[in-house]
Amino acid sequence: MEAIPFSTVASRHLSPTSPSLSANGSFCNPRNARTSTKFCSSLTGLSLSSAPYLRNSFTREIWGRVNMHGVVRAEMFGQLTSGLEAAWNKLKGEEVLTKENIVEPMRDIRRALLEADVSLPVVRRFVQAVSERAVGVGLIRGVKPDQQLVKIVHEELVKLMGGEVSELVFAKSGPTVILLAGLQGVGKTTVCAKLAFYLKKLGKSCMLIAADVYRPAAIDQLVILGEQVDVPVYTAGTEVKPSQIARQGLEEAKKKNTDVVIVDTAGRLQIDKAMMDELKEMKRALNPSEALLVVDAMTGQEAAALVTAFNLEIGITGAILTKLDGDSRGGAALSVREVSGKPIKLVGRGERMEDLEPFYPDRMAGRILGMGDVLSFVEKAQEVMRQEDAEELQKKIMSAKFDFNDFLKQTRAVARMGSMTRVIGMIPGMGKVTPAQIREAEKSLKIMEAMIEAMTPEEREKPELLAESPMRRKRVAEDSGKTEQQVNQLVAQLFQMRVRMKNLMGVMEGGSIPALRNLEEALKSEQKAPPGTARRRKRRSESGRQFANSTSTRPSPAGFEAKS
């Protein structure tokens, strides 16, 4: 497969079809623009002016690297995303949305939602709401009908999923009790530890209570997970009643001034009376601030039905949706709130302890529409990247001094961000990725790492040394067990990246969206121009000039390809 620069891939997906991009020039939902900016800056600790950089060039360039050896095409709610895309495509060339021309797109939307296992009444209400709004839309100058429909669908999806983030409720005094319930194997025990890990990051002290007395292995599992996240686990064996264990555990937590206790309960294969009675008793004994039902996203609308049933039976405060990293079709995420009236508070997106996060309806809608979830991505990136590193990196990018040490640091940061599937799903247009393509990308990272490790510290710091010396590149190839061609490619990529980063920085600093579009257009047309054409040659020579400008003291490595 021919390697296509990521920026080009991104530009395809950042076309004006993205309502948030055209609306405010960022990936954030316009509604939440204020919150999003605050978010970015509060998380980074960088100045507000750094936020656009983090939202744009940082994410692209990290992914530029991951995707350098080939394009990873879009699968997270993949089928739903493509189904919806088919709907917009039907409106291409139309001047205005009318009752007649939205019939077919609405049929596509309906079909896509049903195939994603969204519950039928929810689909009906959704389609009706979108249709009513679509035909009521007047002609907005510069916004095409397909874009208008995307925007309406985005807003209705956000509404469907509850609109705002539903925050966890904490007790005003004494320990906050969070009771977790759910069927067998949905991920309850894992969620206990993940939740403790998440709350610890918010500065809360936690204790886990092992009240699943029917599966002794569950107690051991919780103890192990507790050790992993460094949170105490209260256990009392399997001979004591669960409500009794929970009460004792709560007393213990009070003595220790613990902020939050999280109670693991027994799962069943299906809802039964004994389970419900036990949960009711636990609720009476603990008076929890949160009673959350853990449901598996892969079960689609069944998850929504379970939330409804548990709520009617024992009264719950919300749901935690797990396994969103799997091939969930989206039905659960879209149906739970509307069917049960209860919000999804958190989502699990992997097996690692850090793979639990708040449920943001607007970000989820963005992912469903193939617009990615850049804010979650940036947050993850910031979690694994020290602030000083981010600042240092920013300086280097601005002065076009980005070297192989930075390259390695960022590559490793990406690796620490979690499973590739999960991370890739957050990038606009990167929703549909096959496992084989992810393996390919991971392999590429390893190859790059091996080559960089074979460089001397001086070479890593001054990539020009490698650009100028075929002998050095040969040595790196031999020491890393890779081919000379692979080393040449890596060195060339670093210089290309410097140029691209500099261009992006210029655009970001100027802050003008038309400029960004121009750049994307330019990248797009470069990709389209066949090799060897005058246009491509012209661009290449311009790119060489840009490089020469970006490194004043060194000879341009534009010629190094010829030397090697």
Q: List residues binding ligand GTP (CB under 6 A).
A: 182, 184-190, 212, 215, 218, 267, 322-323, 325-326, 348-351, 355
Tell me whether residue 15 or residue 434 sits nearer to ligand GTP (CB atom): 434
- Residue 252 or 327 with smaller CB distance to ligand GTP: 327
For residue 36, give both structure tokens.
């999003």
How many angstroms separate the Cα of 442 from the Cα of each of 384, 403, 408, 434, 447?
18, 21, 14, 13, 9
Q: Which is nearer to ligand GTP, 351 or 391 (CB)?
A: 351
CB of 203 to ligand GTP, least distance (A): 24
Q: How far is the CB of 221 from ligand GTP (least distance, A)?
A: 6
Which residue reads 């529409």 in tokens?
A: 369
Burial class (CB in 10 A: 0-12, 13-18, 19+), 280: middle
513: which 2 tokens? Answer: 């969206």
Nearest distance from C-beta of residue 166 to ligand GTP, angstroms? 18
Q: Closest separation between CB of residue 329 and ligand GTP, Å?
A: 15
Number of C-beta neighbours around residue 417 at 10 A: 21
Cβ-based nearer residue to ligand GTP, 327 or 479: 327
Closest contact distance (angstroms) between CB of 296 and ligand GTP is 8
Nearer to ligand GTP, 159 or 352 (CB): 352
* DSSP E strand stretches across 16-87: none
> What's the min distance (Å) between Cβ of 400 and ligand GTP?
40
- For residue 507, the Cα-to-chain-centroid distance in whole angstroms is 25
Q: Which two tokens stand for residue 180?
A: 């977790």
Three-state DSSP at 322 gives strand
Q: How far apart are CA 353 and CA 157, in angstroms?
A: 29
Q: Which is nearer to ligand GTP, 266 or 304 (CB)?
A: 266
The smaller minimum CB distance to ligand GTP, of residues 145 and 348, is found at: 348
| Long-range contacts from 105-113, C-beta under 8 angstroms, 24+ separation | 105/149, 106/130, 106/131, 106/134, 108/83, 108/84, 109/83, 109/84, 109/153, 111/83, 112/79, 112/80, 112/82, 112/83, 112/84, 112/86, 112/87, 113/80, 113/83, 113/334
Residue 181's SS3 state is strand
Q: How far is the CB of 347 from ligand GTP (least distance, A)?
A: 8
CB of 158 to ligand GTP, least distance (A): 22
Give 113 or 305: the residue with its C-beta nearer to ligand GTP.
Answer: 305
**Nearer to ligand GTP among residue 184 and residue 543 (C-beta):** 184
Toward ligand GTP, which CB reaches closer, 91 or 424? Answer: 424
Least distance from ligand GTP to the Cβ atom of residue 184, Å:
4
Q: What is the 8-class DSSP label of residue 180?
A: E
In the complex, what is the shortest distance from the CB of residue 210 to ligand GTP, in angstroms, rounded to a whole number? 10
Spatial CA neighbour of 160 closest among 350, 368, 9: 368
Which token pair is 353? 């302890």
Q: Could you tell me where the DSSP H helices lie in 90-144?
A: 103-115, 120-135
Rounded distance between C-alpha atoms, residue 216 and residue 71, angstroms: 47
Tell which residue, 344, 287, 286, has the closest CA to residue 168: 344
Phi then psi dihedrals of residue 260, to 5 deg: -135, 135
User: Toward ligand GTP, which CB reaches closer, 351 or 442?
Assistant: 351
- Rank residues 291 and 497 by Cβ distance to ligand GTP and give the closer one: 291
319 contacts 166 by C-beta, under 8 angstroms: no
Kindly give the pairing relationship between strand 356-358 and strand 344-348.
Answer: antiparallel
Q: Which residues pair with 320 in a beta bridge?
A: 294, 346
Report the alpha-carbon distance of residue 335 to residue 52 in Å, rounded. Answer: 33
Q: Which residue is nearest to ligand GTP (CB)?
A: 267
Largest CA distance in the chain: 81
Cβ proximity to ligand GTP, 217 vs 436, nearer residue: 217
| Angle CA 202–208–211, to nearest 5 | 150
Least CB distance to ligand GTP at residue 3 (A): 30
